[in-house]
Amino acid sequence: MLQFIRSKVTSIFIKVLFGILILSFAIWGIGDIFLGNKNGEAVISIGDKDYNANEFLSEYEKARRAMRLPPEYEELVKPQLIESVKQSIIRNGLLSAETLDLNLVYGDTQLKKWVGKSESFRDSGGKFDPELLRQALFNSGLTEADFFSSLREEMRNNQLISAVAGSVSPPAILIEKIFNYRNEKRTVNIAEFTDASISSLPEQKESDLRKLYDDTKSNYMAPVYRSVTYVHIDPKEIAKDIMISKEAVEERYNARRDELTTPGSRDLKQLIFSEEESAQKFISSITSALSTTQVTKRISEIGETANVIEMKDVTEPDFIDIKERKAAFETPVGQISSVIKTSFGWKVFFPFKDTPEVITPLSAVRQKLRDELSNEKALDNIFDLTNVFEDSLAGGASIEQAAREINFRSSKLKSIDNNGKSENGAIIGGITAQKEFLSSVFDTPVGEQSQLLESEDGGYFIVRIQSETKARQKPFNEVIVEVKKAWEAAEKKKALMKKAKSFAGKSRSIGSLIRAAEASGIQQLQIGPFTRFGEGIEAKYNPNELASIAFELRKNDIGIADNGKSVSVVEVVKIDPAKMNKKSEAWLSLEKELISGIEQDYLEGIHTALKKKFNVSINQNYIEKIVNPE
């Protein structure tokens, strides 16, 4: 049918038919074009100001483009995106209504000054470049008038926000409490008990197994299974028959050279001084005669004078500040940079390792690029194949017959559950692992076939449901092996917990986990220092509960952590309070975070108050219509 429409679209009859359809859609779907209001009726009204369809769609399109999601995922997030845009318009609209009510103004001179000072519109020399402004407007789809109107409104709103929340400052005691909570560290001794320490388990009795089965019957349900015939028009299968020339691969390689280039990077140490004098004094003490190793040693001995941060694999774009970037990358390796004044203090950089730029050779990615190109061509060809397939179905062919028309085969699944598993519990894989496929299998009535739907790989699939086996409770005899395994796991955990409790008691009575371990011949080890979030613990020694249990204990206290497959006895041997440095990046970052949170709370309070002052009206049905015109 689609092929027929395309082949006949030039005929007079079809043009007239399309004209009627377009006119009817316009009148019933977007009738504002014909019925007088070129901007559409009000979508959202706040006080005396209306936000029309064009304004809503403009904000919606900006938000949609900013997410850069593939088309198949856009539909999934569309409801959340619509709600986000709606709330954004309401928040800004309430502020604008209040600024107009207060007669706040922001003049042309102020706007020009702001644009002139903006880093976004300055060239490499730091001068305002009008071409950068024009390019930014083009990329965002804004006219100059739209931009300045929006900017003026934003600046007025900022005046209001600054008056209410512009000078908030969290109490120092609050920052200290949170800083200490996050950065306190602990060191522990642990003795871990695993299944290897269990020599025997109680005798399995059928009565115990049956009781466990009765208590956990919901774990032994056989799900609904369906028998399915399906066709997957797989672009990977199409791609196998597509030949890609050597020249095409080379052209793609050249086009993606930037992607295939790993930029040069540096390892460096960043020293942050609270006073310029201290920074200059340190620089003066470093002479050119000193080797990289000697300078590194001097830095390690700097003590409290400066905060030293080691930065690895840093690239030039990682630095936003131009002065810092130059200091970090124009200073020769092994030498100390000049002093740079920043909002965090006086910075000095010491680059000690250079990693040159690496360009991946064509030989290493030739096959990948060839596959990429063939897949792209396959996706182009798949449109014609699906049209032939649909035309065959429309002509009365079965999905098996329609598949043969395009040189594809149908496939059969004897049984599949809604998790993509067969009756033996094995994952089937392939397209059956895709959510859309499984949804189609279980949404299509038995004996019927689905629509032709797009798959996650860019292909298409269709399913026909042959039969269904209802969910059922598996009898004890059918699941006895699983019940035995569950019983063994439970008994092992009981035995491990019993051993751990006994050892914990012995450790407490002796007054030391180490001495109790030596007396019992149990291996123990020390872990830490680490934070309450597990930072500082190696992955292999980072059981589920260890960090949380350690931070519940006082020094020299002993506790027990259930790690899932093992149990650990934990003794806190050292508590390291957070190192308070009010000029460190960690402290300043936390302060900014708290300020941001307080400002957000103030803004929520402003919006709540303004909602009571200004009437907010939302035309939800119209929003749905303009965003989903079909």
Mean pLDDT of 39-49: 78
Q: Which residues pair with 42 in a beta bridge?
A: 52
The predicted pLDDT at position 70 comes to 63
The Cα 188–Cα 536 span in angstroms is 12
The Cα 528–Cα 334 span in angstroms is 33
Least confident of 132-141, 264-273, 291-300, 500-509: 132-141
8 Å CB contact between 584 and 52: no
The Cα 438–Cα 420 span in angstroms is 7
pLDDT of 1 strictly over 80: no
Taking only the tens place, the pLDDT of each residue in 240-280 is: 888 889 998 989 889 888 888 888 899 999 998 988 888 89
Distance in Å from the first CA to the final CA of the chain: 20
The Cα 244–Cα 380 span in angstroms is 14
The Cα 190–Cα 525 span in angstroms is 6
8 Å CB contact between 487 and 214: no
Exposed/middle/buried for 16, CB within 10 Å: 0-12, 13-18, 19+? exposed
Treating both helix axes as pointing N-terminal to C-terminal, what angle do 206-215 and 480-510 enclose, rounded to 10 degrees? 90
pLDDT of 10 strictly over 70: no
The Cα 150–Cα 585 span in angstroms is 35
Identify the DSSP state of 554: P
Query: Is residue 314 classed as helix, strand or coil in its secondary structure?
Result: strand
The more confidently predicted of residues 110 and 242 is: 242
DSSP string, 142-153: --HHHHHHHHHH
8 Å CB contact between 396 and 279: no
Q: What is the pTM of this model?
A: 0.51
Taking only the tens place, the pLDDT of each residue in 350-385 is: 999 999 989 999 998 899 899 888 888 888 888 889
Looking up tokens 């006080």, which residue turns up? 47
DSSP string, 119-185: GGGB-TTS-B-HHHHHHHHHHHT--HHHHHHHHHHHHHHHHHHHHHHTT----HHHHHHHHHHHH-E
Residues in the chain, total:
630
Looking up tokens 């030498």, which residue turns up? 335
8 Å CB contact between 334 and 292: yes
- The tokens of 516 are what? 């109790």
